[in-house]
Structure 1
Amino acid sequence: MPLSRPSAAPPRALPVIVLADVSGSMTQLRKLETLNESIATMIRSFAAERPVRGEIQVGVVAFGRQGAVLHQPPVPAADLEWSDLRAGGRTPLGAALDLLTELLADEKVIPRNAFMPTLILVSDGKPTDEWEEPLRRLLASPRGGKAIRLAVGIGQDMDDDDFQVLRAFIADPSIEPQRADQVHLLSRYFSWLTMSVSRQARVGRQSSAEIDFDELDEFLA
């Protein structure tokens, strides 16, 4: 009787979580519209991937009028039906960081054997609540501290103080937050991000060393 072949191990979850600023200023200059389009396109691209090593999951934490809310729990991209974000209110980044820390610690949402997550902060201005202590808690957490953390600032009105917040979130001097001074650059940023994460899922490796920032420069050129 022929021996049966061992079944292949299921792919490990590779979480991608967007922290989306949905404050009132995001309604200006098609910022939120472009962000919604960019996330939806990213999800469709991830859903088309069939990697055997990593299953890309997408989640979104939104922060604005309603405080910080889990707009989209992390689920496999192929199972996700995107619902557009809506803007209004202030910029409670600290509340979003605390919600993110709780989310990353919940093994019912993100399995213990998952790859470390990729976290992307998208914002167009200054936080309106206390954010430094929540950020310390995130960076001190097992997954938050080891995650790949990226950030992009939208709009020409962001000053250096705004970008210092994004740098603090990344907490890696080798990685700079990106500027999307023109809103259309945000969609290019997400195109690069999609390519980078898809590559990681195919090879089953995930670290900041796997990210090709030279390719990002080409996308934004």
Structure 2
Amino acid sequence: MTIGDFVAKAAKPLPVIVLADVSGSMAQDGKIEALNDALKSMVSSFAEEGRLNAEIQLGLITFGMTVRDHLPLTPAHKIDGIQRLDANGPTPMGAAFDRVTQLLEDKEIIPSRAYRPVVILLSDGHPTDDMRGPFERLASSERASKATRLSLSIGSDANEAVLRDFSNDPEAPLFFAHDAKDIRNFFRAVTMSVCARSRSAKPNSPVKIEYRPGDDDDDLLELDL
């Protein structure tokens, strides 16, 4: 057994799951292109992190024409790119909530030794299916209820009430993206936070983010961990 094998087995998973709205409206104003770019950068940054304390894993569930595991939960250093997202269809957010609850409750995919998962919801519209029941199951289930939930409201037509209810971190209220640039900046801030958490002596600490819509891409985003 090599030292690399020992480190890989010793590190606990730190799951990050993105729930991405890919409905037809995301095709407008460069939103889906910005999301593709942001996810690519997130994967690259996660893959570069060490794995002494925590192994960052990334999963992507998309909801539009269908709800699907666009990227099954995978250690970031093993991800060889993400198939680009296309925007079409309605906004079946409730079905996406049910899918992420199933994932979080599956001990074969997310073992009990894993650190607290981070679930990121982003949407630019209103749910087109029943989401109240699925959300209640997500918020009350044994393991899924312990995940840190963040949400990003994109544009002026997003359902802010639903997105605000989804977020459960008092240090991270509902975030807003006014344009495509803000989507990239939000993902950059979350990426920095998760990477810092993975290096922390206490990776289960809540994610705390300082994010300001309208910042230039090159501006330093403040982080409080």
**Normalising to structure 2: TM-score of the pair?**
0.87
Please show how residues 1-221 of structure 1 align to structure 2 within 5 Å: 10-66=10-66, 68-81=67-80, 82-158=82-158, 162-172=159-169, 174-203=171-200, 204-208=202-206, 210-211=207-208, 213=209, 215-217=210-212, 220=215
CA contact (8 A) 2:59 2:74 kept: yes
Structure 1 residue runs without a partner (length 5+) = 1-6
Q: Which runs of 4+ in 1 moved over 6 A?
A: none
CA contact (8 A) 1:156 1:182 kept: no
Residue identity opposite 2:26 in structure 1: M
| CA displacement at 1:173 relative to structure 2 | 5.1
Residues 38-79 of structure 1, C-alpha deviation per residue, up to 9 Å, x if partnerless? 01100000001113100000001110102x111111111111
CA contact (8 A) 1:91 1:127 kept: yes
For these two proteins, the number of residue pairs brought into alignment is 208
| CA displacement at 1:24 relative to structure 2 | 0.5
Greater fraction helix: 1
| CA displacement at 1:123 relative to structure 2 | 0.5
Residue identity opposite 1:217 in structure 2: R
Q: Distance in 1 between matches of 2:214 and 2:146?
A: 26
Change (3 A) 1:220 1:137: farther
| CA displacement at 1:165 relative to structure 2 | 0.4
Change (3 A) 1:199 1:174: closer
Aligned residues: CA RMSD:
1.8
Change (3 A) 1:164 1:218: closer
CA contact (8 A) 2:31 2:179 kept: no
> Counterpart of 1:207 in 2: which secondary structure?
coil
Q: Distance in 2 between matches of 1:141 and 1:38?
A: 30
> Counterpart of 2:190 in 1: which secondary structure?
helix
Percent identity of equivalent pairs: 41
